[in-house]
């Protein structure tokens, strides 16, 4: 018996996310970012603004003008945001360890629970279909002391398959930058920004019998950094991060129903200088699905999470419980409706009930063209982080959850033929109440539910492909307008580090074994604080890539890729006084069985 293909990505996005905007990046796209981080991919390919604190330093996402803590990040279906900080550092999530990235824009609290106010990112390792042995060895060298080595090995039989990944990366980050704190802004050499990372991933799939399948995944990741000082600063801070993530999925399927059991453990350790913080969370979940009942799909489940934090400022434990239900209704290809419901409780608090509703409606279709209308509405929430409630001194245990109301609508048009193209335009609107903000009170800072934030904007995304002779062309273009206003401030000013304008574009040209790609992205001006007291200039970067995949030796394939990043050597800052590298080069050689 062959091991049937099993989806290990965010399956609920396939069946219960009607009306939502979704972006998917497969291995072919991820290969171009194999020596880079998830933060680089999201900044250059999606409408997400990524707050980079320097090369290899902290990188945090901002969806649709929301804060980094309003983004839920999952790996193989389990949440991996820090339970103390409520967010993830994208710079230490290497693309090399990921097989598939799915980005869901907009709130999906009813579908994914806590933190999914602005959006969610779903990372997964996919089932390898080939039997027997397979493997890739990859070596990348680049500017500013960049070296990365990685190995992927797999072995498969009809009922049992394995995949192993090992990676090691070093970056000196000794790039030149302009010191704007000094007269004349002279060029300086960055001398305290070394970044090192290594990790191991292991996946096992086992077909127990004709009805049951088990998948187990483990991910160990370690990063060590010299914290890059502010421009003009001289600090010498260091940070070490170490994470253990493990998850087991058991799936039992018959014609009448599908049962899914998930058990997971995530442990994080962060050492800043001599200060050490440890957190862990265990998770148990049970889902029941009725995959096909006429036009209906039905899902219900429950999940329990156990949190433990041992930080220099406090020690605490906590339990959280969730119950959820999803309904999907579909009439052929014309209409798809989803209804999602979720209830979450944590110590001494039952949060507001979260509903969500979505609709996909095919307005027109013929042999070449289809037009869809999409809309979605719902509520979202974010439970105050452990730091917000328990930090000593200053934590506030009486904080209320942040709550959001969200809506979006859009149209998408797709046309196939010699010149194929796709276009999507989405308008979104949301309001976040009880937004938590740390404020000074005497000599202490303490968090309060103080902000009321209104966000609205437009997102455009277009793709096209065509052929001229032996050349195959692909192009994409995206633009985002985002208004994120703090209604608690006079003048309803744009939130700090929330660009109104952002966009990206790319062109790829293929002929035989040769592929050339040109890409670029733009980030508009940002306020660095409330009151528009200082504006950080916008910037645009252009990258080039060339791939040759025709080199072979017997059964060994040897693809070669060259990249030039920041082609025009732009001097820019994503965040104020955080230097970023200029033009750099990367050379990647892979040996593939």
Burial 312-338 (b: 16+ CB within 10 A, else e): eebebebebebebbbbbbbeeeeebbb
pLDDT for 6 = 47
Helix (H, G, I), strand (E, B) or coil at 232: coil
Helix (H, G, I), strand (E, B) or coil at 42: helix
CATH of 11-592, one of 3.40.190.10, 2.40.170.20, 3.20.20.70, 2.40.160.40: 2.40.170.20
pLDDT for 86 = 94
pLDDT for 37 = 95
Quick one: CA dihedral 116, 118, 122, 123, positive or negative? negative
Q: For residue 112, give both structure tokens.
A: 């994914």
d(CA 191, CA 177): 11
C-alpha closest to that of 396 among 451, 318, 449, 321 = 449
CA–chain centroid gap for 389, Å, is 26
d(CA 151, CA 106): 35
pLDDT for 233 = 93
Distances (CA, A) of 398 to 260, 311, 447: 36, 20, 10
Q: What is the dihedral of CA 194, 31, 198, 188, to 10 degrees?
A: 0
Residue with tokens 């119950």: 323
| ∠ Cα 10 297 329 (to 5°) | 105
d(CA 12, CA 72): 15
Domain boundaries, the chain: 11-592
Q: For residue 495, give both structure tokens.
A: 């939130």
pLDDT in tens, 58-93: 999 999 999 999 999 999 999 999 999 999 999 999
Q: CB–CB of 225/195 below 8 Å?
A: yes
Per-residue pLDDT of the chain (593 residues; tens, 9 = 90+): 343 444 445 577 778 999 999 999 998 889 989 899 999 999 999 999 999 999 999 999 999 999 999 999 999 999 999 999 999 999 999 999 999 999 999 989 999 999 999 999 999 998 767 788 889 999 999 999 999 999 999 999 989 999 999 999 999 999 999 999 999 999 999 999 999 999 999 999 999 998 999 999 999 999 999 999 999 999 999 999 999 999 999 999 987 889 999 999 999 999 999 999 999 999 999 999 987 677 888 999 999 999 999 999 999 999 999 999 999 999 888 999 999 999 999 988 888 899 999 999 999 999 899 999 999 999 999 999 999 999 999 999 999 999 999 999 999 999 999 999 999 999 999 999 999 999 888 889 999 998 899 999 999 999 999 999 999 999 999 999 999 998 887 666 789 999 999 999 999 999 999 999 999 999 999 998 876 568 999 999 999 999 999 999 988 999 999 999 999 999 999 999 999 999 999 999 999 87
105 burial via Cβ count (<10 Å: 0-12, 13-18, 19+): buried
Q: CB–CB of 556/592 below 8 Å?
A: yes
d(CA 520, CA 504): 6
Residues 6+ apart with CB under 8 A from 439: 445, 446, 447, 448, 450
Looking at the chain, how many residues does it have?
593
Q: CB–CB of 296/290 below 8 Å?
A: yes
Distances (CA, A) of 162 to 172, 260, 393: 34, 21, 48
Distances (CA, A) of 540 to 190, 430, 521, 571: 22, 28, 6, 10
């Amino acid at each position: 018996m062959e091991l049937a293909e099993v989806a290990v990505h965010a399956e609920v996005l396939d069946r219960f996310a009607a009306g939502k905007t979704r972006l998917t990046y497969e291995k072919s796209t991820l290969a171009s970012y194999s020596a880079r981080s998830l933060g680089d991919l999201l900044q250059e390919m999606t409408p997400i603004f990524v707050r980079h604190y320097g090369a290899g330093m902290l990188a945090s996402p901002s969806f649709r003008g929301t804060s980094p803590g309003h983004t839920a990040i999952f790996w193989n279906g389990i949440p991996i945001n820090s339970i103390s900080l409520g967010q993830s550092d994208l710079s230490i999530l290497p693309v090399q360890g990921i097989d598939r990235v799915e980005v869901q824009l907009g709130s999906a609290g009813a579908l994914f629970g806590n933190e999914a106010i602005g959006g969610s990112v779903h990372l997964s390792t996919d089932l390898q279909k080939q039997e027997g042995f397979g493997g890739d060895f990859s070596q990348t060298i680049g500017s500013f002391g960049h070296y990365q080595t990685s190995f992927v090995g797999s072995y498969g039989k009809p009922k049992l398959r394995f995949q192993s990944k090992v990676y090691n990366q070093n970056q000196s980050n000794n790039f030149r930058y302009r010191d704007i704190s000094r007269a004349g802004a002279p060029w300086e050499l960055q001398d305290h920004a070394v970044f090192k990372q290594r990790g191991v991933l292991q996946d096992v799939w086992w077909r127990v019998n004709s009805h049951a399948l088990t998948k187990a995944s483990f991910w160990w990741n370690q990063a060590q950094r010299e914290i890059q000082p502010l421009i003009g600063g001289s600090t010498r801070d260091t940070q070490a991060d170490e994470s253990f993530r493990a998850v087991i999925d058991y799936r039992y399927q018959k014609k009448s129903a599908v049962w899914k059991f998930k058990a997971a453990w995530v442990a994080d350790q962060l050492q800043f200088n001599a200060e050490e913080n440890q957190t862990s969370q265990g998770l148990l979940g049970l889902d029941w699905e009725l995959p096909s009942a006429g036009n209906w799909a039905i899902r219900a489940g429950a999940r329990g999470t156990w949190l433990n934090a041992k930080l220099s400022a406090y020690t605490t434990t906590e339990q959280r419980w969730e119950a959820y239900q999803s309904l999907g209704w579909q009439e052929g290809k014309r209409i798809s409706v989803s209804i999602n419901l979720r209830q979450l409780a944590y110590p001494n608090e039952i949060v507001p009930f979260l509903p969500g509703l979505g609709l996909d409606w095919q307005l027109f279709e013929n042999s070449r063209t289809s037009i869809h209308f999409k809309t979605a509405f719902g509520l979202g929430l974010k439970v105050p982080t452990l730091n917000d409630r328990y930090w000593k001194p200053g934590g506030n245990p009486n904080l209320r959850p942040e709550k959001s109301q969200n809506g979006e609508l859009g149209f998408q048009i797709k046309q196939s033929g010699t010149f194929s193209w796709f276009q999507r335009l989405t308008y979104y609107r949301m309001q976040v109440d009880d937004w938590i903000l740390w404020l000074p009170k005497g000599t202490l800072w303490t968090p309060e539910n103080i902000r009321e934030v209104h966000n609205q904007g437009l997102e455009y995304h277009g793709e096209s492909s065509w052929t001229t002779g032996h050349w195959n062309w692909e192009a994409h273009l995206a633009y985002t307008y985002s208004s994120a206003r703090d209604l608690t401030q006079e003048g309803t000013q744009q939130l700090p580090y929330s660009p109104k304008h952002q966009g990206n574009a790319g062109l790829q040209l293929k002929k035989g074994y040769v592929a050339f790609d040109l890409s670029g992205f733009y980030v508009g001006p940002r306020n660095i604080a409330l009151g528009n007291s200082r504006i950080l200039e916008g910037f645009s970067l252009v990258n080039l890539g060339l791939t040759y995949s025709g080199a072979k030796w017997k059964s060994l394939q040897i693809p070669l890729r060259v990249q030039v990043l920041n082609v025009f050597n732009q001097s820019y800052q994503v965040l104020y006084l955080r230097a970023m590298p200029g033009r750099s080069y990367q050379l990647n050689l892979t040996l593939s069985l």
